[in-house]
Amino acid sequence: MKSGARSLKVSLALYVVIVMLFFTLIGWWVYFFSSKGDELAEHVELSGPLNAGQYSAIHEQLGEWASMFFFEGIFLGVLLLASVLLVLRAVRRELVLNRQQRNFLSAVTHELRSPLASAKLYLESIRQGRADGEKAERYLAHAQEDIERLEDLVEDLLTARRMTGETAEVHPETMDLSGLVLRRVERFAALHDHATVELDAPAAVMVEADPQALDRVLENLLGNALKYGGAQPRIEVGVGVDGRSGLLTVRDFGPGLQGADPQRILEPFVRGKDENVRTQPGAGLGLFIVKELVGAHRGSLRIDDTLDGGGTRVAVRVPLTPGLPRNVRPTHTWGLSDDGPPRPSAGAVGGASRETPGQAAPPGGQEQQL
Amino acid sequence: MSGERLIVVEDEAHLAEVISENLELEGWRVEVLGDGAQALERIRQDPPDLVLLDVMLPSMDGFAVCEALRGDGNQVPILFLTARSSRDDRVRGLELGGDDYLGKPFDLSELILRVGAILRRTQWFSSPSPAGDELRLGDVRIDLATLTVHKPDRTFGLSQKETMILRCLAERPGEVVSRSEIVDTVWGYDAFPTLRTVDNFIVRLRRLLEPDPKNPRYIHTVRGAGYRLTP
């Protein structure tokens, strides 16, 4: 909403300036001609009527001035028209943003009301003596889950608001994408030992990005891959370089989008339609937050579920740090799985090794070019 | 009042659980479905005594389910349960033929009261009317039991709500029945955001039944009081 309001303000200011210029110019013309008229009258008074030579000189001069004024007028007129168009465009954008905000609000209310309703009914049932013993225990546990769902939702909402509200900012700095991804993937794999996570990343990919924001992006993508990747999710995470962008990919081997529109699921509160999606907790904000954060980096986001072997792959691109040598050699491949602690499964072909020492090196590396 | 069969159509597992278990505690038999299209299929196959219908559902929303059922001529009572509580949604649900509307979150006791009230109203309507099943307005004959209107030139159906309003008036011929009495009998205490919706139904009834809807001969408006039927 911020950028819309700003572009409206800028366009309006531009418009006002151009209108003022226009009036100044007209005033100048009036002044100019009247002073020339006075000059001429004075001249005639002092030295009598003009002769033929003077007459034609004045005529010529007048013609020159007229064409100069004509072109000045045309130029300002075009500017005026352009600024009117700019204002119109900004107004239209503002209207669209307003509508989006209204939809957002109505979707928020809807998402908040369902868990609120069930928590309330569970607690009322217990207070009115309609549930006791084991049933009461179950009701309390479910009410607590509802409240946790509300809590998550409020958290997501605040994040989403921060990104669309006045204080929405990312603070890009030069950072190592590979390092960030490695740390997050290790933590993630340790927390979710029923999932198999494979990481494929070169030694260092220096990008201009906000580390906290990118961490959030990765967390949301990993969370999705875990939720929608089936009973024993296998997740492939890749880091690489693509043109002038640092590339981060997260792929699961679940059922894919199942007909859901890849553009629509980036909107807030939109979730896939099938049973598998709807039974998972979540409010449909994860990918929206990813989209907003990546957008704030002037990066790009791509979702693909037409892959050999099935599943969904999300590819995020953020700007590479300019001027640094692009290290695209495959250097590390980590496999992290459920049997034991994070297990390094691949070797450093070159470059600095990280917290995880390298061992055998299976082929593979830079394969996430889209 | 017990043993009636209810279908709860709700895709939020927790809500479905707590609603259905509480309704069962009241002695009703409850079936839970989580999908709009599936629910439509099931209700068509074996209509229950009441459907509690969520609006936002996978595959087909609650309004569409209601519309499809009414389109079939299926008059199963419907109580909408929904998190969208804007006025427009309320009116839309009721004009599509819903019987009542509860916005989430709601009180447990309110839910139980409303379900009971709808079941009672349905019972009132399915019991034989003291005024008899047939109503004659000039050469128009209305069968209140089969919801059909026989005109000299054609025969057509009325909706359940239209018939209920007509029956409500016909049970007290010549007397003034207030709009809020009509709302109470046909929908329940505060189902409607405004009493004006009754007026809309009356206008429709006049168009269907009166020889000249602009100058009604049978269904009269009594200014400030309500409506009166003079057969």
Domain match, B103 and B18 both: yes
| B148-207 per-position pLDDT tens digit | 899 888 888 888 888 888 888 988 888 999 888 888 788 765 555 567 778 888 998 999
Domain match, A160 and A180 both: no
The CATH number of residue B71's host domain is 3.40.50.2300
Of the candidates A148, A134, A278, which has an alpha carbon nearest to the alpha carbon of residue B21? A134
The CATH number of residue A135's host domain is 1.10.287.130
Give me the mean pLDDT over the B202-228 stretch: 90
Q: How many independent structural domains does chain B possess?
A: 2
The pLDDT value given to residue A321: 86
Q: What are the chain A neighbours of B108 within 8 Å (beta carbons)?
A: 121, 124-125, 128, 130
Domain match, B121 and B147 both: no
Q: Which helix (H) or strand (E) holds A270?
A: none
The CATH number of residue B168's host domain is 1.10.10.10
- For the ranges A101-105, A209-213, A263-267, B175-179, which has the lowest average pLDDT? A101-105
Asked if residue A365 is part of any domain, the answer here is no
Domain match, B36 and B118 both: yes
Q: Do B14 and A116 touch (CB under 8 A)?
A: no
Domain match, B78 and B162 both: no
Domain match, B210 and B113 both: no
Q: What are the chain A neighbours of B61 within 8 Å (beta carbons)?
A: none
Q: Place A278 in a pLDDT band, splitting at 50, 70 and 90.
A: low
Q: Place A3 in a pLDDT band, splitting at 50, 70 and 90.
A: low
Asked if residue A364 is part of any domain, the answer here is no
Domain match, B15 and B104 both: yes
Domain match, B108 and B18 both: yes
Instruction: Choose among A110, A130, A146: nearest Cβ to B22.
Output: A130
d(CA A188, CA A33): 79
The CATH number of residue A323's host domain is 3.30.565.10
Domain match, A265 and A213 both: yes
d(CA A273, CA A32): 72
Domain match, A270 and A224 both: yes
Domain match, B174 and B116 both: no
Query: Above 80 in pLDDT, residue A132?
Result: yes
Instruction: Decide which of B90, B107, B126 is a domain's last residue.
Output: B126
Q: Do B108 and A274 touch (CB under 8 A)?
A: no
Q: Place A130 in a pLDDT band, splitting at 50, 70 and 90.
A: very high
Domain match, B43 and B114 both: yes
Residue A279 forms contact with B (CB below 8 Å): yes
d(CA B77, CA B161): 10
Domain match, A335 and A191 both: yes
Query: Above 50 in pLDDT, residue B74?
Result: yes
Domain match, B119 and B143 both: no
The pLDDT value given to residue A281: 56
Give me the mean pLDDT over the A62-78 stretch: 85
Q: Which helix (H) or strand (E) holds A269?
A: none
Domain match, A253 and A304 both: yes
Domain match, B145 and B79 both: no
| Residue A297: domain span | 173-344
Q: Do B56 and A110 touch (CB under 8 A)?
A: yes
Asked if residue A362 is part of any domain, the answer here is no
Domain match, A238 and A331 both: yes
Residue A278 forms contact with B (CB below 8 Å): yes
The pLDDT value given to residue A29: 85
| Residue B211: domain span | 134-229
- For the ranges A7-21, A343-357, B8-22, B37-51, which has the lowest average pLDDT? A343-357
Q: How many independent structural domains does chain A possess?
A: 3
Instruction: Decide which of B126, B144, B162 is a domain's last residue.
Output: B126
Q: What are the chain B neighbours of A116 within 8 Å (beta carbons)?
A: 104-105
The pLDDT value given to residue B191: 55
Q: Which of B81, B102, B104 would you mutate first to test chain A, the one with the most A CBs within 10 A?
A: B104
Instruction: Choose among A106, A118, A135: nearest Cβ to B12.
Output: A118
B133 vs A118, residue with greater confidence: A118
The pLDDT value given to residue A352: 34
Q: Do A114 and B104 touch (CB under 8 A)?
A: yes
Contact criterion met (CB below 8 Å) for A217 and A237: no
To the nearest whole Å, the CA of B10 is away from the closest chain A CA by 10
Domain match, A270 and A337 both: yes
Q: What are the chain A neighbours of B24 within 8 Å (beta carbons)?
A: none
- For the ranges A2-16, A144-158, A285-299, B60-74, which has the lowest average pLDDT? A2-16
Domain match, A340 and A197 both: yes
Domain match, A152 and A292 both: no
Chains A, B: CB contacts under 8 A, how many?
69
Q: Do B84 and A116 touch (CB under 8 A)?
A: no
To the nearest whole Å, the CA of B53 is away from the closest chain A CA by 14
To the nearest whole Å, the CA of A136 is away from the closest chain B CA by 11
Instruction: Decide which of B108, B126, B144 is a domain's last residue.
Output: B126
Domain match, A157 and A190 both: no
DSSP string, chain B: ----EEEEE---HHHHHHHHHHHHHTT-EEEEE--HHHHHHHHHHS--SEEEEESS-SSS-HHHHHHHHHHTT----EEEEES---HHHHHHHHHTT-SEEEESS--HHHHHHHHHHHHHHHHHHHSPPTT-SEEEETTEEEETTTTEEE-SS-EEE--HHHHHHHHHHHTSTTSEE-HHHHHHHHT-TT--S-THHHHHHHHHHHHHH-SSTTS-SSEEEETTTEEEE--
Domain match, B114 and B147 both: no
| A26-49 per-position pLDDT tens digit | 888 889 888 888 888 888 888 777
Asked if residue A366 is part of any domain, the answer here is no
